[in-house]
A and B are shown apart, each in its own frame.
Chain A
């Protein structure tokens, strides 16, 4: 009797296991959390925040075409860095590069540096790769890739926009001082991170 009962239970379990479930891949769940975590990723790191804002500040300080060229090109170059981080290409000195970006971009805004456009673009592009790489290497598994990427890119772009909006103050005499002070603050934060990265 006991054996029959066990066999019956086994039969039921085996048949239940063979019953088809509902395929629910990508039905939309997790999209919002993926976007939010991607959006917060660049915003929650102070070293990234100050550098992104500094790019906007410097672009506004340099005027056209830098003010629109930087926000158009920076996300693409940063995504290339993110790609390198995602696929695991080794890149030494990432933290130092990120901290240096704060120091140098902040110093550029503070001193109102006006290098040739191509030099400014190369400098910013180089730092964009470092920042993108750090984000790419840290991206968590299990998130919706496209929603996360969207949030990440939008978050970074909005940080630039904050810098550009602050940089628009540059057209007034008191605004010039404000923008330069903001650049100095970025440089100080960058220096602290550089100290931590080297020490």
Chain B
């Protein structure tokens, strides 16, 4: 190797490495890539996240079992706060708190759906707002590294709205005992999952 060869090999190595590191790649923690754009990515992200879906289902069951006023409160307040909190999460980013908190909405809302207590409408509205804040922020903060998180948050919110509306309507229309019991069993299973998830987190 000549005197020129050593600097040349360094130069080649440096350029090759620069080429490797310059290749752009998405950070895809917790994300879904559908190929249909960020709106559908956000929707799919929600649909593939049971920790986000199950509390929404439990809230919808709880609201539906309590009557039409409660169902309306859930359908109105949950998506609105989910959207706003999602945008906040998008701006601020992940908070880095313990994963054990994910079990809290599952346990609380699942237990309420299973026990079916009578609460005032403002109670259901408050629960909807709290879930919207927690769930929206959780999903919204995850796409903060993506190209268009705004549309992803909107997509997730739309699916949350459709889910809470459909489940609440189905439970409202449940006339027979066994259909209402089935809904409560789903609530019980949700709470049970939450308790186990808490155990996993504290393990």
Of B5-13, B61-69, B82-90, B128-136, the one contacting chain A is: B5-13
B29 located at the interface, meaning its Cβ lies under 8 Å from any Cβ of chain A in the complex: yes
A28 to B195, CA, bound (A): 22
Give the distance in Å from the alpha carbon of A120 to the alpha carbon of B192 in the complex.
21
| B9 and A149 form a contact (CB under 8 A) | no
Q: Which residues of B contact A118 (CB under 8 A)?
A: none
Q: B27 near A76 (CB under 8 angstroms)?
A: no
Q: Are B203 and A86 in contact, CB atoms less than 8 angstroms apart?
A: yes
Render A136-147 as a binary contact track against B, CB cut-off 8 A, 1 for contact.
100100000111
**Is B202 within 8 A of A79, CB to CB?**
no
- Does the CB pair A71–B114 fall under 8 Å? no
B95 in contact (CB, < 8 A): no
Size of the A side of the interface (Cβ < 8 Å), in residues, is: 50
Q: Are A87 and B192 in contact (CB under 8 A)?
A: no
Main DSSP-derived SS at the B contact region: helix
A residues 53-93 near B (Cβ < 8 Å) are 68, 71-73, 75-76, 78-80, 82-88
B184 CB–A CB distance under 8 Å: yes
A25 touches B196 (CB 8 A): no
Q: Report which of B20, B114, B196, B199 forms a contact with A153, defined as CB distance below 8 A.
A: B196
Is the Cβ of A4 less than 8 Å from the Cβ of B29?
no
Q: Does B16 contact A (CB under 8 A)?
A: yes
Q: Which of B177, B185, B193 has the most chain A CB atoms closer than 10 A to its own CB? A: B193
Chain B stretch 62-117: residues in CB contact (< 8 A) with chain A: 102, 111, 114
Least Cβ–Cβ distance between A191 and chain B, in angstroms: 29
Interface residues of A in 142-159 (CB under 8 A from B): 145-150, 152-154, 157
Question: What is the interface of chain A mostly: helix, strand, loop, or mixed?
Answer: helix
CB nearest neighbor in B for A141: B203
Give the residue of A1, A11, A79, A139 whose beta carbon is less than 8 angstroms from that of B192.
A79
Give complex CA distance A199, B38 in Å. 61
Check: A171 CB closer than 8 A to any chain B CB: no
Please tell me if A198 contacts chain B, counting CB pairs below 8 Å: no
Complex CA gap A32/B1 in Å reads: 56
Stretch from A13-21, A108-116, A172-180, A182-190 that touches the partner: A13-21
Contact of B51 among A82, A146, A153 (CB under 8 A): A146
Kindly list chain B residues whose C-beta atoms are within 8 Å of the C-beta of A4. 1, 5-6, 9
Within 8 Å of chain B (Cβ to Cβ): is A44? no
CB-based contact B198/A75 at 8 Å: no
Interface residues in chain B, defined as those with a beta carbon under 8 Å from any beta carbon in chain A: 1, 5-6, 9-10, 13-14, 16-17, 20-21, 25-32, 48, 50-51, 102, 111, 114, 177-178, 181, 184-185, 188-189, 191-203
Known: A5-B9, A15-B21. 18 other contacts (CB 8 A): A4-B9, A9-B13, A16-B20, A22-B26, A22-B28, A23-B28, A25-B29, A27-B29, A28-B32, A71-B185, A76-B188, A145-B196, A145-B201, A147-B50, A148-B196, A153-B189, A153-B192, A153-B193
